[in-house]
Amino acid sequence: MELTNTLTMKREQVIPHEPGVIRMYTCGPTVYHYAHIGNLRSYIMEDVLEKFLRYEGFRVDRVMNITDVGHLSSDADTGEDKMLAGAKREHKSVMEIARFYTDAFFADCEKLNIRRPDTVVPATSRIADFIQMVQTLLEKGYAYQAGGNVYFDTAKLNNYYVFGNQNREDLAVGVRDTVDADANKRSKTDFVLWFTKSKFEDQELKWESPWGLGYPGWHIECSAISVKELGEYLDIHCGGIDNAFPHHTNEIAQSEAYLGHPWCKYWFHVLHLNDARGKMSKSKGGILTVSTLEEKGYDPLAYRMFCLQSHYRKPLTFSYESLDNAANAYKRLIERVAALSEEGEPDLAAAQPFKEKFLAALGADLNTSLGLTVLYDLLKSDLTDATKRYLVGDFDQVLSLSLLEKAKAAAKPAGAEVPAELAAQIETLLAQRAEARKNRDWPAADAIRDQLAALHVVVKDTPQGVEWHLER
Ligand SMILES: [Zn+2]
């Protein structure tokens, strides 16, 4: 497939380092609050990318970090410590906050049909690796100590990489915002690898290191976790475009200095979700979450549909009006699938041209809206219902809109009372699911979710507990 590589600002054919295997890294959430739907846009599009690569036949090894430390709003020790602010706001410890919002993040992902990456690594579980990487950077002369902290020396690089021209301006802003903040830096673009001196003296989480009691800088976790889990050559690094500078720039600097050779080949960045006020961000307050959408009566998958309707390289503007349009389109799509007869066998030869169109659409820089068009085209075509159903299921491996499941539920007549025996069975499963989630036994929780889905149970997690009803 071809992707727009932010490293070169060109559309390029994806050719992995090892044939047949894609090693993919994703910057995970900073777990101090619920994810807003703007963040989740990135995770939805990354999920489509992963699933499409699998659909094309690649093995995809995907790793995501969880930022539960190294969480400053900027690496210059300015701004607020987000984790600590979250802990203070909710009168909890930093680790309690991290665990709660990590679970909340994956619960949102589940509702949006975002597959959990194979490997999920909380930053706090890898402090020894970060220390080792910083140590090596010091030994190689790419880092220096000043005022108690360890800094990366960007002047030692032949090229301090900044993505595309668009980020020159961000660089200027970043430098301007941080220039007075830290007199220890030799160059304005230098960044902290390890803190022992910080304005956050009440930091809850600190670790022993060769440079004193402290904690890692913002960027080191992604480099260290990626190199350890995915090796020295990374194929695709994903993230929201706001991570491109300084976070990804600094990841490249320290990873390549550490490894001594180029590191990641393709950078996949998803553009912002805007609202009427501009870019959606947690700091503006009043954030939109998956729960907000559910409370307003939207199926979270209608939001996934909304995201799939536009291209990931374009900023997307959110309004309830446009979400309504997506929700209606989603509902009509399910109705069309529900109207297909379940009789007969698919004609695979007749399906093939549509599969090829779908591959071509998604293969052209992940053009999801064109992929949806192919889906509509096949529903309009003169293929048999069985072939149409087959293709809907086939494409939905990538789109993940639960089309066949929703259609099956929609086709059933509206149920009357739930039989007592079934209700008891559902309650038992829900109790098992709660237990599995409490024990963070995700495979078990997923298996129970599948069983509940097979029974057409719609589960909703509310502040008052779990609610459920049968799909009509
Ligand atoms: Zn990262």
- My answer on whether 405 and 430 are in the same domain is no
How far apart are the CA of 58 and the centre of ligand 1, in A?
Answer: 24
Q: What is the reported pTM?
A: 0.84
> Does 284 reside within a domain?
no
How far apart are the CA of 23 and the centre of ligand 1, in A?
Answer: 15
The upper half-sphere exposure of residue 114, i.e. CA atoms within 13 Å in the direction of its Cβ, equals: 29
How far apart are the CA of 245 and the centre of ligand 1, in A?
Answer: 11
pLDDT in tens, 324-372: 999 999 999 999 999 999 899 999 999 999 999 999 999 999 999 999 9
Stretches in the chain below the pLDDT threshold 50: 74-77, 166, 178-180, 414-415
- My answer on whether 340 and 434 are in the same domain is no
pLDDT at 77: 44
- My answer on whether 191 and 262 are in the same domain is yes
pLDDT at 70: 55
In this structure, how many other beta carbons lie within 10 angstroms of the beta carbon of residue 89?
Answer: 11
- My answer on whether 427 and 390 are in the same domain is no
362: amino acid identity, one letter: L
> Does 277 reside within a domain?
no
CATH classification of the domain holding 387: 1.20.120.1910
Report the number of distinct structural domains present in the chain. 3
CATH classification of the domain holding 76: 3.40.50.620
Strands (E) in 190-335, as ranges, are 191-195, 215-216, 234-240, 264-270, 273-275, 278-279, 316-317
pLDDT in tens, 12-28: 999 999 999 999 999 99
The DSSP 8-state label assigned to residue 245 in this structure reads I
How far apart are the CA of 351 and the centre of ligand 1, in A?
Answer: 40
- My answer on whether 258 and 366 are in the same domain is no
Q: Bridge partners of 67?
A: 30
Strands (E) in 82-206, as ranges, are 119-122, 143-146, 149-152, 191-195
How far apart are the CA of 183 and the centre of ligand 1, in A?
Answer: 26
- My answer on whether 145 and 21 are in the same domain is yes
- Cβ neighbours of residue 123 under 8 Å, at least 6 residues apart? 65, 66, 67, 68, 69, 70, 130, 216, 221, 225
Whether residue 273 contacts residue 280, with contact meaning beta carbons closer than 8 Å, is answered with yes
User: How many helices (H) and strands (E) would you count in the chain?
Assistant: 16, 16
How far apart are the CA of 244 and the centre of ligand 1, in A?
Answer: 9
pLDDT at 172: 54
How far apart are the CA of 399 and the centre of ligand 1, in A?
Answer: 25
Longest distance between any two alpha carbons in the chain, whole Å: 74
Whether residue 219 contacts residue 251, with contact meaning beta carbons closer than 8 Å, is answered with yes
pLDDT at 285: 60
Q: Provide the domain limits for residue 459.
A: 420-470
Assign 3-state DSSP to the chain and report helix, strand, coil percentages, each to 5. 50, 15, 35
pLDDT at 33: 86
